[in-house]
Amino acid sequence: MFGINIALLIYVNSGFLIFRHTLGREVSMSSWRDNLRYIEPYVPGEQPDLPDMVKLNTNENPYPPSPKVAQVIKDFDSGTLRLYPDPGSKVLADAIAKRYKIASNEVFTGVGSDDVLAIAFMTFFNSKKPILFPDITYSFYDVWAKLFCIPYKRPELDEAFKIKAEDYYCDNGGIVIANPNAPTGIRQDKSFLRDIIEHNRDVVVIIDEAYVDFCRESALPLAKEYDNVLVVQTFSKSRSLAGMRIGYAMGNPELIKAMDDVRFSFNSYPMTRLSVAVGAAAMEDEEYFRETTRKVIDTREWTKRELNKLGFSFCDSETNFIFASHESVDAKYIFEKLKEKHIFVRYFNSPRIDNSLRISIGTQEDMKYFISELGKIV
């Protein structure tokens, strides 16, 4: 047209369609892809479903939930599901508060501890200063930081996989410590945590206690003592409710109110009626809780002794898993050979820990079979 031969070249360059013609002009057309949020997501543990498997890869409890939970499910009136649940999950919050001897307004409940932690990140980490958490820890932390555009630094654990307290004395925007740590299983005592808190009174310090019921003590007394400490726990491990997704946080009412305000800004009915009823029943059955956690701890200590005999070394775990490496056999090789036998453990292809396996504690029978088959590999 108009005697001008227009050559149209269409190509993709950094997400844009570029139209170039002989007049020397360029016209850029935006794509909807330009406005997508690109992020590398957290990768959860493998969830195989084989009838003969021994599943030791995601730190689930090998024992069923409390019989009181089963009774609640049996008696649950499905007709009530036509109604929205209580926004504050009061029945569940009250049960948690009663168990830990705190007030209900010092309890935040959520859809698993991951949900609780994510909301805590959104609520408390809003300065331009980097938050701090170890280089080897729960890998969801850096995913959330990237997702919510929170600057962060990851101080290295020492050669024994322990936190160096002085790394947390610097200016920062908040601190997150998994205690006991995952995947190492190492617990820092209250005096150690107190030291870090004392050096960081101007920011929120989150203590993530997903595995605390398998060790000697909780940091909850520190949350009662310091108004900037939030303790996060879960029903997934010690209370056998990973499939129900229930988590909670405990801290001073101002922290809890701030988290509620953020959460209710995008989800005003977070917990289902059934999960609230089930969670309350599980929290109230102290006898069953102590019985099953004791079984897991006893089996863990037995497994440590057996692993030692096979040439494994490991951190002194106070969780429901053991983080172990063999003196001569490569961890990835062991992982693959176990998988061939339908025994699933967790392997991390990450710097510093790529020659270790995280082995969840199953029943005593599970672990005897695991040790027997492991002995044929190493």
- Annotated domain spans of the chain: 1-36, 54-62+287-377, 79-284
Residue 135's nearest CA partner among 109, 114, 164, 173 is 164
Query: DSSP secondary structure string, 151-189?
Result: -EE-PPP-TTS---GGGGSS--S-EEEESS-TTT-----
Q: Which residues contact 137 (CB under 8 A, 6 or more apart)?
A: 154, 176, 177, 178, 181, 182
Of 37-46, 55-64, 104-113, 328-337, the range with the lowest mean pLDDT is: 37-46
In the structure, what pLDDT confidence band is assigned to residue 77 with cuts at 50, 70 and 90? very high
191, with CB counted inside 10 A (0-12, 13-18, 19+), is exposed
* Dist CA 63 CA 41 (whole Å): 30
Q: How far apart are CA 29 and CA 118, in angstroms?
A: 36
> Where are any strands of DSSP class E within 286-345?
312-314, 321-326, 343-344
Taking alpha carbons only, the member of 201, 305, 215, 244 closest to residue 92 is 244
What's the mean per-residue pLDDT of the chain?
93
Q: How far is CA 112 from CA 108, 205, 290, in A?
A: 11, 20, 21
pLDDT at 17: 41
**pTM of the shown model:** 0.91
CA 247 to chain centre: 10
Alpha carbon distance, N-terminus to C-terminus of the chain = 77
Q: Looking at residues 174-190, what average pLDDT do you find?
A: 96
Residue 46: which pLDDT band, with cuts at 50, 70 and 90?
A: confident
Determine the pLDDT at residue 5.
42
Task: State the pLDDT confidence band at 14, using cuts at 50, 70 and 90.
Answer: very low
Domain 79-284 matching CATH 3.20.130.10: the answer reads no
Percent of the chain with pLDDT over 90: 89
Which tokens hold the place of 115?
Answer: 């949900």
Which pLDDT value is given to residue 28? 60
Summarize the confidence of residues 81-95 as an average pLDDT: 97
* Same fold yes or no, 54-62+287-377 and 79-284: no
275-324 pLDDT per residue, tens: 999 999 999 999 999 999 999 999 999 999 999 999 999 999 999 999 99
pLDDT of residue 119: 98
C-beta of residue 102 within 8 angstroms of C-beta of residue 224:
yes
Domain 54-62+287-377 CATH (choose: 3.40.50.10260, 3.90.1150.10, 3.30.70.920, 3.40.50.150):
3.90.1150.10
